[in-house]
Amino acid sequence: MRRFTLAAPAALAIATFLTAVPVQAYDGHRALGPENCTATACHFDVPPGTYDVRVVLGGEEPSSTAITGETRRSLLPETAVAAGERVARSFTVNVRTPEGEPTGADGAAGLDLVLGGSAPALADIRVTPARHTRQIFLVGDSTVCDQPGDPYSAWGQQLPQFLRKGVSVANYADSGESTVTYLQNPQLWATVQPQIRRGDLVLIQLAHNDKQTDEATYRANLETLVDGVRAEGGRPVLVTPIVRRWFNSDGTLNNGTALLVNGLGVDHPAVTRSVAAAKGVPLIDLTAKTKALVETLGVEASKALYLYNEKRDNTHTSVHGATVYAGLVRDELTAQHLVPQGKVRVG
């Protein structure tokens, strides 16, 4: 852990005011700093793009700081710093319009960061345009997207906190989408595909809303997405869907509803695995991993992963559940050498 000793006024100055730098005055090269922050938030009036953020955390008292950004994306996990010490952390963030779900509201222009945690303390911050960044695009549904409001959260929304500077997440997952609608809506696949650059990863998890999609169509749609990513020089990664929390009387998950077999008898995870094998595509079997975890926790303890207590919802995850599931994705990205070990946070 790198530690820094800074004068106390550096931390105190941040709590005084918020001054936005006009977008026309931003030359795209110089670093933007703490003059854009209050004690609880920062706003940087920058155009859409990808930005590196370097923060120095800590103050004269013990502190514990987490950072979220844009539409409730977790960008930095809660970080404790001892009294009088300073710790530097860096991450890369994608800024776009709309800032959350692609079919949602535009949100505020520029980059917005929120300082959270049990005792937040920001000593310094610098924002610069990112160079040599690898992008991870997310194609998915409401279990992946940047959920706009509490208590909802999704694993794609929590994934950025597990990544270091040099890797950013562009989450184009959207609530209610199936493989059919994702390909049809010009705000979705037609918007994502032209942005893909050589070496970018595109994680694809669509199944929850393919309730009336027959097997041949579902398979063909996944193949279309895979081929479209490769046509741009990107690397597709198929992700089987997270399970729904529906138990049998013996404590196992229901083979239909929980494990994403639709009313036509289409086993979405099985088809996804089959397409991955046939096309030579990396596979993150999130169905198998979330099934094992939910069944191990059991009927009661697994409620905390979902919104059962708040909404009687056994499909959508809580912040806790989304974070746990994002950790599973992070583990697979490194285990399959899709993201270098040095680019992920493990703690």
Span 163-176, pLDDT tens digits: 999 999 999 999 99
In this chain, the answer to whether the domains covering 3-129 and 134-343 adopt an identical fold is no
- Alpha-carbon span 98 to 139, nearest angstrom: 15
Residue 28 has pLDDT above 70, yes or no: no
pLDDT at 333 over 90: yes
Residue closest to 233 by CA, chosen among 180, 262, 197, 267: 197
Task: Return the ∠ at Cα 60 (arms to 59 and 62), rounded to 5°.
Answer: 75
What value does the mean pLDDT take over residues 319-333? 98
| Arithmetic mean of pLDDT, 53-78 | 98
Residue for token pair 């806790």: 320
| pLDDT, position 30 | 72
| pLDDT of 76 higher than 80 | yes
Is 27 or 209 the better-scoring residue by pLDDT? 209
Q: What is the CATH number of domain 134-343?
A: 3.40.50.1110
pLDDT at 10: 36
Are 134 and 124 in contact by the 8 Å Cβ rule? The answer is no
Nearest CA to 293 out of 276, 277, 306, 312 is that of 306
Is there a contact between 278 and 114 (Cβ–Cβ < 8 Å)? no
Whether residue 151 has a cis bond before it, omega within 30° of 0: yes
| Locus of tokens 């005055």 | 25
pLDDT tens digits for range 120-165: 999 999 999 999 899 999 999 999 999 999 999 999 999 999 999 9
CA dist 13 and 329 (Å) reads 38
Position 1 pLDDT exceeds 50: no
Residue 314 in this model has a pLDDT that exceeds 50: yes
Q: In whole angstroms, how large is the CA radius of gyration of the chain?
A: 21
Instruction: Give the domain ranges of the chain.
Output: 3-129, 134-343
pLDDT digits (tens, 9 = 90+) for 190-231: 999 999 999 999 999 999 999 999 999 999 999 999 999 999
pLDDT, position 132:
84
pLDDT score, position 31: 87
* pLDDT (average), residues 54-71: 98
7-16, 226-235, 329-338: the lowest-pLDDT one: 7-16
Collapsed DSSP state (helix, strand, coil) of residue 49:
strand
Concatenating the DSSP letter of every residue in 209-256 gives T-TT--HHHHHHHHHHHHHHHHHTT-EEEEEPPPPP--B-TTSSBPTT
> Quick check: 19 pLDDT over 60?
no
Mean pLDDT throughout 89-100? 97
Confidence tier at 16 by pLDDT (50, 70, 90): very low
Whether the predicted pLDDT of 40 surpasses 60: yes
Q: With CA atoms as reference, report the closest residue to 169 among 253, 50, 53.
A: 50
CATH topology for the 3-129 domain: Jelly Rolls (2.60.120)
The predicted model gives 317-336 an average pLDDT of: 98
Q: Which residue's structure tokens are 């920001």?
A: 122
Q: Is residue 8 pLDDT above 80, yes or no?
A: no
Judged by DSSP in three states, 116 sits in strand
Q: How many CB atoms lie within 10 A of CB 164?
A: 15
* Cα 90 to Cα 2: distance, rounded to the nearest angstrom: 12
Residue 66 confidence (pLDDT): 98
Whether the predicted pLDDT of 88 surpasses 90 = yes
